[in-house]
Structure 1
Amino acid sequence: MAIQPKFQIGRKSQQYIASKKFTNREGPRAVFSNTLKDIKMRGLTDDNFDVIMYYGVGGIGKTSLQSQLKKDLLELEPNALYSTVDFKDTALH
């Protein structure tokens, strides 16, 4: 007797849908939060700039992280200004 799989793709009786819950990115979010606190403590007269770069292979959640960080920023600083650049647009190269 052949071994049968418990789950099959497309089986009508059981459907599994990936959760859209944002998880497992506490480290990058902590870096963002700490950098924001450092900027606030320095004040407006400081000429230093801060750049945080998140990188990695496709599909690991960089875009989801960006969306979550925007939400975090607006919770901490409702009047904050932010911008994004999508380098898929060749006009920005």
Structure 2
Amino acid sequence: MTYNLFISFDLSSPDQNYDEVKNKIKSLGASYQFQRALFYLNTAIKPADIYSMLMSIMGSTDKLAVIDAKDGLVSTWDGPPLDAINDLWNPTT
């Protein structure tokens, strides 16, 4: 099973571990960065496991949301590969 996740985080100290968190998200599956700390991730890894992996490299006062989006489409955003994201989200198989 694959999951379409939105991941958002807020580091209590700006730039603290930012690159480490960003790179970890990108290593977990096909991803797109919508905003500085908002990512779309298509992965076979369960949302709870993603949450645990990311929290393990974040500080105790940092905030993290891992949202499982069951259905949706992305449009009119500034430059993402819309067709690729929509194809991952809604495969026609």
Under a length normalisation based on structure 2, what TM-score does the superposition of the two structures give?
0.28
From the CA coordinates, give the structure whose radius of gyration is larger.
Answer: 1
Larger strand share, 1 or 2: 2
TM-score (norm 1): 0.28
